[in-house]
Amino acid sequence: MMNKQFLFQMQHYVTFFPPSENKSFEINELLEWEATILSPSLAYVIGGSVKNEKEKNNLLISFKKLNAILEIGKYLTGDSITSADIAIWSTMYPLFKCPNLSKEYISVLPNISKWMISLDGEPQFKDATSIFKVEGGQTSYNALLAGARYLVPVLPNESQLNEKDSPQHNVEAVSEGELLAAEKAWQKDASQLPKLKQPKTVVLPLPGEKNVLITSALPYVNNVPHLGNIIGCVLSADVFARFSRLCNNNTLFICGTDEYGTATETKALEEGLSCQDICDKYFKIHSEIYKWFNISFDYFGRTSTPEQTQICQDLFLQLNGNGFMFTQSVDQLHCENCNRFLADRFVEGGCPNIGCNYEDARGDQCDGCGKLVNSIELKNPRCKVCSSTPKLKTSNQFFIDLPKLEPLLHHWMKISLPGWSYNAQVITKTWIKEGLKPRCITRDLKWGVPVPLDGFREKVFYVWFDAPIGYISISKAYTKDFDKWWRPASGTNVTLYQFMAKDNVPFHSVLFPSMLLGANKGYTTVSHIMATEYLNYEDGKFSKSRGVGVFGTDAQSTGIPSDVWRFYLLYIRPESQDSSFSWNDLATKNNSELLNNLGNFINRALVFAKNNFNKTVPQMKPTKDDYTLLALCTRELKAYVAALEKAKLRDGIRHILAISRHGNQYMQANQPWVLTKGTDEEKIRAGTVIGICCNLACLLATLLQPYMPDTSASLKKQLNTSNVVIVPSNLEIVTLLPAGHKLGEPFPLFDKIESALVEELKKLFAGTQEDRKNGSVDIKTLEAEVAKQADKVRTLKSGGADKNVWQPEVTVLLELKKKLETAQKNNSVKGTPENNVNLKTIEAELAKQAEKVRALKSSGAAKTVWQPEVAILLNLKKKLETIQNIVPNNKVNVADIKRLEDEVTKQGLVVRKLKESGAEKSVWQPEVDKLLTLKNQLALVSGTTVPTARNNKKGKN
């Protein structure tokens, strides 16, 4: 009762504090974060009976984020209370009122504490909380949280949208207006839509058109990109670029490798190559990876070019001539052992920022707190090359005068900021609030763009000044008319979208715009900064430097199609908070969302059309039920476009899946397989259902194109159709495939990812790249290293050394222990009978599949036909390689054979019963697939062969 009263009171104050229209995007972001991150963390941690350090750390991270937001304004979105303040304050209120918990979590964060106290003093809040006494703890927290969940409308969270099975069919209510609109739209056909523009050899902006320039943050050329890099930059930008083209926007998508700077020099030293050789090597690797991922760059270039040198030097001279540069003597770290000044990436040490204890900060940025640093401010600095302690020396350098540029930046930001992702806004506002400082832009290095002034020609521009200019120089390498994009003529508007991870935001929101504004040459500046949070790997973090995680080359080697990788990365895209890659989750999402939802709907419709309507779209006589389905799908279509226009790519893919889920429910409710056996009227009804489902499949083919281009192409081939234009100003579902349209040959779009493959991949990609490259790790060697490092830590601690000295050694020790644990686990796996399989069987399968691929390619078959077979071949190769590494001998496990024989028998009964009951093929086929999978597993373990559907008459359909 008390909870209901509190809820009533707080609902009243949501209307009392109405949100500002221009704050609605920020408010929704905060509400989603409260629902999906803050509340679950609180619910799990606060009870007292559960002690989980990981969850506690997640909660502390949430509070630090909230504290950073409140540093900018009095309330969460500025100087007025909104529904976001009410919802989050309500969620945290019991914690705030419990002295012990408040002391541990709130009092230590001054901005949160001040905000909580301020709202607690508001008369309306006092009225709401006076109705009951909060004593703290889990019971009180859960009671209040149950009410707070309904205080304000919250965006759907992942747990609501990721159900493993499709929900029961329950037709949603639609208005009469929606029904009439759906019926009217259905009377139109695809011929009434605008034609999709044909791609041009060179894309240039045009007066009077929507000209969209898209960039993704230039990846460093010094390493192989991992999945976190790919989703944070190039893949996200690619989806948006493909969508923009579908909307007939004049779209240019450019990117390239960032090749200058100390990151390249460091890698060159490691590999014993020249800087140019390193760039050439990794540029090729990057290009091949992005090609495999189907990234649709209009041009993918690089920054170590004459165009980069010319534009970088010109921009510097423009800024210098306008009075925004000055020189100053700078203290720099110099390594006497290496006899060189240490550029930022050649020095590491403790982060100097208050509150951050990260011990491995670089000389330019701390990965622990995300803030920029100056190398001379690092605690206990050390040379990255030789680990010796560097000394301070002076050197004269150029600085860009950011304080002088700040008024220009403030004026520009008022216009541009509202179009940015929420985290980009918060990060930038924090930077601005702290006040801009002059920034050094030159370094005593050889690998970079030379400074074009006497007395400084032996120096080069620092990478943060040089790299963003790469967008312009790469455009120039693409076309001599690059200025039409970057300095457009009057009457030609260019909208610039830039995609990146959050650590790159300051360079794109403050530094690069300041440079362009200071040049005063009419440069195009960014309108939309779309930044992601971080993608983690299983229980830890991706790390290029340590080789932890799945890298672009790894994804190719798994045999899982690139479209599935694209789908999963976009499904878990870290838009408003960090997310995690998980092998188990990858398989689950593939099997439930792609195979059982999307693929099942499309394949059922097209196979039914083939078997019952001679691969032809049947006559359709829609009823109110059909228009209800079309109205519901139109809602999803509108939400899809709204999401993609704001680059909310994760939400867009969920609207696609919602359409196929509606379709599955619709088909299941109408049961066309029953109707075709009934009266003439029922047969017409069956044709209507299948015809509408084929049309929805055609719509999905277009909506899928930005996310899964190969799948979209395969589906369009099955439908015998092509992409249609998306018209954001007039979104409706027309008849894309009229009655009589001839369809192609249907085939399944997706394959199941078996749990056995998941387990193989988890083991294969455990540890680091170095471990995987070198094979099994010598456990005795690792044990000796752990013991040696442990002695080193004990000696330092017992000797009274400062924490800043021994903390890095503790980090090394923990890393060694983790590596040892992984090696011991992998070693124990090698001898387990579960992994003793018949190698000859897999070798035979491999040879057979290789022959199949060769035959398909030599016959001139389309890529969409032979690509899935190549994926199977790669998977078999990887399986053979894994088993050869894990199983040195070829033993047969009797227990495994007996278990699989029992499962085959049981599954065989399921299939027979379904077929005898007269069920449709679409119902029993998945069970047949399970049976064949089990038989194949039995064959692998026992060394026998399994008859295929061709030579097994009982298996024929």
H or E segment and range at residue 350: strand 347-350
Residue 893 C-alpha from the chain's centroid = 41
Domain ranges of the chain: 10-159, 208-243+272-295+302-328+415-532, 557-756, 892-957
With 0-12 / 13-18 / 19 or more C-beta atoms within 10 angstroms meaning exposed / middle / buried, residue 242 is buried
Output the six-digit token pair for 76.
Answer: 């969460």
Q: What are phi and psi of 40, to 5 degrees?
A: -60, -40
Residue 168's contacts (CB-CB under 8 Å, 6 or more residues apart) are none
Q: Assign residue 559 a region: left if phi > 0, alpha if psi is -120 to 50, beta otherwise?
A: left
The DSSP string of 620-643 is ----HHHHHHHHHHHHHHHHHHHH
What distance in Å separates the CA atoms of residue 502 and residue 508, rounded to the nearest whole number? 10
Residue 439 C-alpha from the chain's centroid = 32
Output the six-digit token pair for 784.
Answer: 């000796």
Assess contact for 236 and 573: CB atoms under 8 A. yes
Output the six-digit token pair for 576.
Answer: 């408003």
Range 711-725 burial, b when 16+ CB lie within 10 A, else e: bbbbbbbbbebebbe
Alpha-carbon dihedral angle through residues 599, 600, 601, 606, given to the nearest 10 degrees: 90
> Listing from the earlier edge strand, what are the strands of the sheet with 325-335?
340-341, 325-335, 391-400, 439-440
What distance in Å separates the CA atoms of residue 400 and residue 934, rounded to the nearest whole number? 67
Instruction: Let me know how long the chain is.
Output: 957
CATH number of 208-243+272-295+302-328+415-532: 3.40.50.620
User: Which pLDDT score, from 0 to 100, does residue 748 have?
Assistant: 93
H or E segment and range at residue 299: strand 299-302
Output the six-digit token pair for 565.
Answer: 């990788």
Q: SS3 of 442, please?
A: strand
* Homologous superfamily of the 557-756 domain (CATH): Isoleucyl-tRNA Synthetase; Domain 1 (1.10.730.10)
Assess contact for 74 and 118: CB atoms under 8 A. yes
With 0-12 / 13-18 / 19 or more C-beta atoms within 10 angstroms meaning exposed / middle / buried, residue 292 is middle
User: Which pLDDT score, from 0 to 100, does residue 898 have?
Assistant: 64
Output the six-digit token pair for 209.
Answer: 């058109």
Q: Where are the beta strands (DSSP E) in 427-566?
A: 439-440, 442-443, 460-461, 494-501, 526-532, 535-537, 540-541
10-159 has CATH 1.20.1050.10 classification: yes
What distance in Å separates the CA atoms of residue 873 and residue 842, rounded to the nearest whole number? 11
H or E segment and range at residue 581: strand 579-581
User: Which pLDDT score, from 0 to 100, does residue 879 have?
Assistant: 65
Residue 443 C-alpha from the chain's centroid = 34
What pTM, to 2 d.p., does this model score?
A: 0.68
How much of the chain is in helix, strand and coil states, percent to nearest 5? 60, 10, 30
Q: Which residues pair with 507 in a beta bridge?
A: none
Q: SS3 of 303, please?
A: coil
**What Cα–Cα distance (Å) separates residue 512 from each residue in 417, 441, 468, 685?**
14, 12, 6, 61
User: Which pLDDT score, from 0 to 100, does residue 63 have?
Assistant: 80
Query: Comparing C-alpha atoms, which of 940, 930, 925, 923 is closest to residue 904?
Result: 930
Residue 647's contacts (CB-CB under 8 Å, 6 or more residues apart) are 236, 240, 421, 497, 499, 528, 530
Q: SS3 of 781, please?
A: helix
Pairing of strands 439-440, 442-443: unpaired
Domain 892-957 fold: Helix Hairpins (1.10.287)
**What Cα–Cα distance (Å) separates residue 362 from each residue in 349, 377, 921?**
7, 11, 60
Residue 812's contacts (CB-CB under 8 Å, 6 or more residues apart) are 789
Q: Which residues of the chain have pLDDT under 50?
A: 1-8, 10-21, 48-51, 132-170, 774-777, 828-838, 886-892, 944-957
Output the six-digit token pair for 531.
Answer: 């930044």
Residue 162's contacts (CB-CB under 8 Å, 6 or more residues apart) are 589
